[in-house]
Structure 1
Amino acid sequence: MKKTSLALAGLLLASTLSAKEFISIGTGGMTGTYYPVGGAICRLANKDPQIKCSVQSTGGSIYNVNNVLKKELNFGFVQSDVVYDKYNGVGKFKDMGDKNLRAVVSIYPELLAFVVSKASGIASINDLAGKSINVGNPGSGNEMTALTVFNAYGFDAKKLKHHGVLTAQECPHALKDKKIDGYFYMVGHPTANITDAANSMPIDIVNIKGENIDKMLKEFPYFAKGVIPKGTYEGVSHDVESIGVKAVLVTTKDMSDKAVGAVVKAILDNFDEYKTLHPALGAVTKESLVQGLSAPLHPAAEAEFKKHGIIK
């Protein structure tokens, strides 16, 4: 009898383990915002005994969207402009669109920060000729957005003294070591990356605004205006006007309903806790979770949002 009970217990344990779904989320550099927020989502998802969620530090948006579609990652954090371009096969992904891409949830707004050393004297994009600027690592969302801004201002990147291709994670050290005068970073605020730079040297964050930017927003509707409040970073004593996108969690249309549903349910069922897990999530609302997605919702995500009354 005892042996039978033990055997049954063993079979039950084996079936439970085999039913567990392992999922990976591609994020970004460890000093950015994607990585800790991805970790927060995994902690909530792992409350479900049938889910084992882990995060990976990656090169960011473009790496994530490509590797999700190759099925080397289950989920990935991607800027909404990159999501739009990849789904529709436009911009950097001209003729390389992929209709298998699906949105899961809109995480938080990201604003473009153009961080400069105060010693550089840079006050505007128009001051960049002859300067050393990190535009972004090749193929990153940072690079894509920075070049779009340059184009809006009519600034030719060839006029830079040095066109940097470092990852955002490497930039605070490069700025401190005077290898660059400034760098672009599309990120949720506050972020440890810019805090580290601001705490080690005098910095400023340059406004990105004006008629040229207004025209750009009409051309690219997935961008929106936003403000990084003064005092967010040491030494930045003015409100910074900029443009932003949404950080969107994406997957493929083939991703299991169980995994997608579990991730969305984890956020919605623990929403008050979720908002406390990173400062970038503080202003998020349940309604904002379905705004600025730039690709169709995965059916399991849509079902979960309907169940919670967020989508009618």
Structure 2
Amino acid sequence: MKMNKFWLLSAFLVFVLVLAGCGNGEDDTADDGAEEDATETEEDGAEETTDDGGEAEGETPDFLTLLTGGTSGTYYPLGGEMASNISNETGIQTDALSSNASADNIVDLQNGEAELAMVQTDTVAQAVDGEGAFEGEEVDNVLGLGSLYPETVQIVTTADSGIESIEDLEGMTVSVGAPGSGTFYNAEQILEIHDLSMDDIDAQNLDFGESTGGIQDGNIDAAIITGGTPTGAVEELSATADLRILPVEQDKIDELIDQYPFYAEDTIEAGTYGIEEDVTTVAVMAMIAVSDSLSDDVVYDITAAIYENADSMAHARAEDITVETALDGVGIDLHPGAQNYFDEQGVETD
């Protein structure tokens, strides 16, 4: 009986010791887990802080938007090809979107609704200076990436319209471009030089396709179209009608350039749209404007993608997109990323 009590007491003591050991193990595990959680939290916090700081200095976006113009003009098809090259070369998905072109594109860049835009050099210069359509409202967050090609002012009518000069537009129904487009402001300036205004014509705010469609249907008499030649909508019209492109006379060209230095003399060559003789006119440059929110590295890569792959594009105006002429007519500050690229190529700023 005494032996039985002894064994019972021994077993009880062993059981207590085992329980104590288990209890200490659970406490250690809980402490270890708390320490690991605390360590992970501190590390996560440190990583988050580092990442946020890095993104603020040079974030690479997943997507980019390139604003172009109307689907019947030059901007849209050419912009689509450039967007493809940017996507392929940088790995950043870039989409080309149709728009009302220059002035509206600048406003969208200013408001952060896009990162890249095709614009006219004259319009973006006015925006930065707070002139023209941007009177008193300077745009201070849009920079230049580079120029592309000459945009020719084409004053289009039909051979049987009876309109032979710009002065003959008085009293006529004339498309002057979509509201907010560079074409609209070119129309104002061309009319002004010829002692006319929007009040002297029946002005219609139509895009290129609507303009040439209106001429074909007889609803409008003429259209002022600023775009790289040949412009798709005008080519389509020339397939169904004999066209006349109104010239800008030399004295008016000189007067226009004197008052608005961003213009240059230009020629629409015989054979274009089926015309029989060269037509003298004026042009501004198309260019790429960019939001200053993009990092230098991203803009450097975009610039390289555009100018080093222009020969892969099918559009006729692509042959004008060269590194050597990329700074022609750019009247605003370049983005540092674009400046770095052109510095490496040995291209000097005008």
TM-score by length of 2: 0.79
Distance, in Å, in 2 between the alignment partners of 1:149 and 1:287 is 30
Of 253, 267, 286 in structure 1, the residue corresponding to residue 306 of structure 2 is 267
The residue number in structure 2 matching 1:138 is 179
Q: Which amino acid aligns with 1:232?
A: T
> Does residue 1:237 correspond to 2:276, yes or no?
yes
Larger helix proportion, structure 1 or 2? 2
Q: Of 288, 292, 299, which aligns to 1:249?
A: 288
Shift in CA distance, 126/257, structure 1 to aligned 2, threshold 3 Å: same
Larger Rg: 2
Counterpart pick for 1:28 among 41, 51, 69:
69
- Residues 159 and 252 of structure 1: is their aligned pair in 2 closer, same or farther, counting only changes over 3 Å? same
Mapped contact 1:115–1:206 kept (Cα < 8 A): yes
- Deviation by residue 1:196-255 (Cα, 9 ceiling, x = unmatched): 111121211111123233112011111111111111112x11111111111010012222
How far is 1:25 from its partner?
0.2
When residues 207 and 256 of structure 1 are mapped into structure 2, their CA distance, relative to the original with a 3 A threshold, is same
State the partner residue of 2:166.
Answer: 125
Report 1:171-210 matches (<5 A).
Answer: 171-210=211-250
Contact 1:134 1:183 in 2 (8 A): yes
- 1:106 equivalent in alignment to 2:147: yes
1:45 to 86, 92, 104: 86
3-state DSSP of counterpart to 1:222: coil
User: Could you tell me which residue of structure 1 aligns to residue 204 of structure 2?
Assistant: 164
| Contact 1:20 1:49 (C-alpha < 8 Å) held by counterparts | no
Report the counterpart of residue 323 of structure 2 in structure 1: 286
Aligned identity (percent) is 28
* Cα pair 2:253 2:281 within 8 Å, conserved: no
Deviation at 1:36, TM superposition (A): 1.1
Shift of 1:282: 2.1
Evaluate the alpha carbon distance shift between residue 158 and residue 269 of structure 1 in structure 2; reply closer, same or farther with a 3 A threshold: closer
Q: What SS does structure 2 have at the residue aligned with 1:289?
A: coil
Which of these residues, 196, 201, 211, is aligned with residue 251 of structure 2?
A: 211
Deviates more, 1:173-182 or 1:114-123: 114-123
Shift in alpha-carbon separation, 1:128–1:252, aligned structure 2, 3 A: same
Separation in 2 of the partners of 1:284 and 1:73?
Answer: 22
Deviations 1:260-290 (A, max 9, x none): 12211112332433xx431012244322111
CA positional deviation for 1:159: 2.6
- TM-aligned CA distance change 1:270 to 1:150, over 3 Å: same
Q: Distance in 2 between matches of 1:200 and 1:95?
A: 45
| Greater Cα offset, 103-112 or 126-135 | 126-135
1:70 aligned residue (88, 107, 111):
111
d(CA) in 2 for partners of 1:49 and 1:148? 39
Question: Are residues 306 and 132 of structure 1, via their aligned partners in 2, closer, same or farther at CA, if it must alter by over 3 Å?
Answer: same
- Partners in 2 of 1:35 and 1:259 — Cα distance? 23
Q: How many angstroms does 1:309 deviate by?
A: 2.3
Q: Please identify, of 276-285 and 140-149, the stretch whose mean Cα deviation from structure 2 is larger.
A: 276-285
Cα deviation for residue 134 of structure 1 reads 0.9
Match of 1:255, SS state, is: coil
Number of the residue aligned with 2:191:
150
In 1: Cα distance, 2:309 partner to 2:214 partner: 39
- Indicate the residue corresponding to 2:347 in structure 1: 310
Q: Which runs of 5+ in 1 are unaligned?
A: 1-17
Partner SS for 1:300: helix
Say how many residue pairs are matched.
Answer: 291
Structure 1 position 291, deviation (Å): 1.1
Contact 2:164 2:246 in 1 (8 A): yes
Q: Which runs of 5+ in 2 are unaligned?
A: 1-58
Q: Distance in 1 between matches of 2:290 and 2:60?
A: 21
Contact 1:80 1:246 in 2 (8 A): yes
Partner of 1:233, secondary structure, is helix
Distance in 1 separating the partners of 2:309 and 2:100: 29
Give, in angstroms, the shift of residue 108 of structure 1: 0.8
**AA matched with 1:302:** Q
Q: Which moved more, 1:151-160 or 1:116-125?
A: 151-160
Question: Is the 1:69–1:251 Cα contact (8 Å) retained in structure 2?
Answer: no
Pairwise CA distance, 1:49? 5.3
